[in-house]
Structure 1
């Protein structure tokens, strides 16, 4: 298995498009599987359309589903931080993509994005791993 870690700053945005990084990582490989994993308890990875409002819609929807208030038992950090710890149950911490000829087989409008609503930690690591097919 080949693997690499990139660092991502989420201080200015709640979703960060990782598609170009995924393509660059896969380019040196043939056929197989690429796993994108966020080793954090308060972030996730999704495959969505970006640039047409879907990324903002995703954040708005998650913020409605996970309001920032005092309802959470996990209560340290900023108000509503417990919601950040529920996020990975809705947006998984990893996705796996099929790769053929060094190219991830994403659909026309699909992008791989890091989803991070956590206001307490804006420094994230994302691990790319490749398994030959």
Structure 2
């Protein structure tokens, strides 16, 4: 299954758990969520407003925008690429009885580091 995620900010965190859950087969042992982009990633964590804000702050502190990166000479978005490298392009979630086996507060979160854009997410 593939689906699109639209973002409206440069750095955006979108809960995609429900859409990913729809793709899970009853016979599956695991579910892989893959983001085929070099300036976006996916993580599993709590979908809480203040935590999402803290995470955006952390990304900007770890990899500040306009910090004289070489790649900025090409596209001006080196920070987005570097942030995506930290996040990773996929997560693997166990499946039990046809359901994502996430912890109580866990969600699958898509993180766009170079929006606003329309992005693809692949679920297998």
TM-score, length basis structure 2: 0.90
Encode CA deviations 1:19-77: one digit per residue, 9 max, x unaligned.
11111111x42341100000001111011101242111111100111111141111133
Q: Structure 1: where are the runs of 5+ without partners?
A: none
- How large is the RMSD of aligned CA atoms in angstroms? 1.6
For these two proteins, the number of residue pairs brought into alignment is: 122
Secondary structure of 1:95's aligned partner: strand
The reply on whether 1:104 has 2:100 as its aligned counterpart is yes
The reply on whether 1:122 has 2:120 as its aligned counterpart is no
The reply on whether 1:39 has 2:40 as its aligned counterpart is no
Shift of 1:105: 0.4
Of residues 90-99 and 55-64 in structure 1, the stretch that sits farther from structure 2 once superposed is 55-64
CA contact (8 A) 2:45 2:109 kept: yes
TM-score, length basis structure 1: 0.84
| Runs of 4+ off more than 6 Å | none
Give the Cα separation in 2 of the matches to 1:49 and 1:55. Answer: 8
Aligned runs of 1:47-86 on 2, under 5 Å?
A: 47-75=44-72, 76-78=74-76, 81-86=77-82
